[in-house]
A and B are shown apart, each in its own frame.
Chain A
Amino acid sequence: NAGVTQTPKFQVLKTGQSMTLQCAQDMNHNSMYWYRQDPGMGLRLIYYSASEGTTDKGEVPNGYNVSRLNKREFSLRLESAAPSQTSVYFCASSERGVRNQPQHFGDGTRLSIL
């Protein structure tokens, strides 16, 4: 079972380049999330999508855009990458409005911006 799949796993960008991180889940979940994790810190929510067709800002949305392409896919775009966006990015998914359902995470995309 694949669960949550993120691509690519690693990426190096130059300042000012653009990049789209892809995320897909095969659990038929309604809600999807993008987090970033900086060294030695916990995860911070960038954007989330409670259901197909909706997106909302999280704690740290500046410099990012998202697209909920369909129920399975939720992409994160950096339009003009900055060194401060060097981080590990995690995608997650969960059921919506269903109690006792945890978030399932992908293995992350390690992004370095020079």
Chain B
Amino acid sequence: DAKTTQPTSMDCAEGRAANLPCNHSTISGNEYVYWYRQIHSQGPQYIIHGLKNNETNEMASLIITEDRKSSTLILPHATLRDTAVYYCIVSVMDSSYKLIFGSGTRLLVRP
């Protein structure tokens, strides 16, 4: 599985968009980009995933560059409850669907 590089920490103001970057320069053609988050000490929560097209759901948007070497998770209107560690993961969607977690980005949403 390709490795990912994320900033250790970021912050943004409540109500503003939070843009979390991720580099995955060694991603292969059949690997998806997944985003999970972990609020405090809870279990990780799935946010969104994509292969090469931009994706949007009720939680966030995922922008993947054309060469697929990097992506950005966008939380359009961050709230205090979005303070969490965000993990960018690349993985092959095979039968076992293994995820390899890195250290993630700690996002602090300021009042």
Q: Identify the A interface with B (CB < 8 A).
A: 4, 31, 33, 35, 40-45, 48, 50-51, 56, 58-59, 88, 90, 92, 94, 96-97, 99-108, 110
Contacts and interface: CB of A to CB of B under 8 A. Distances in A.
B97 A31 contact: yes
A86 B81 CA distance: 28
B96 A43 contact: no
B104 A97 contact: no
Given A88-B41, A102-B49, A94 B97 contact: yes
6 contacts: A31-B95, A51-B95, A94-B97, A105-B45, A106-B43, A108-B42
Interface residues of B, number: 21
A68 to B, nearest CB: 13
Contacts of B26: none
Contacts of A33: 98
B17 to A, nearest CB: 23
Interface in B80-111: 87, 93, 95-104
Q: Is the interface of B mostly helix, strand, loop or mixed?
A: loop
Interface of B: 34, 36, 41-46, 49, 87, 93, 95-104
Given A42-B101, A42-B102, A31 B46 contact: no
Contact of B96 (A50, A105, A107): A50
B100 A45 contact: yes
B46 A104 contact: yes
B103 A42 contact: yes
Nearest to A50: B96
A51 B102 CA distance: 26
A58 B98 CA distance: 9
Contacts of B101: 35, 42-44
Contacts of B42: 107-108
A91 to B, nearest CB: 8
A89 to B, nearest CB: 10
Most buried by A among B96, B99, B103: B96
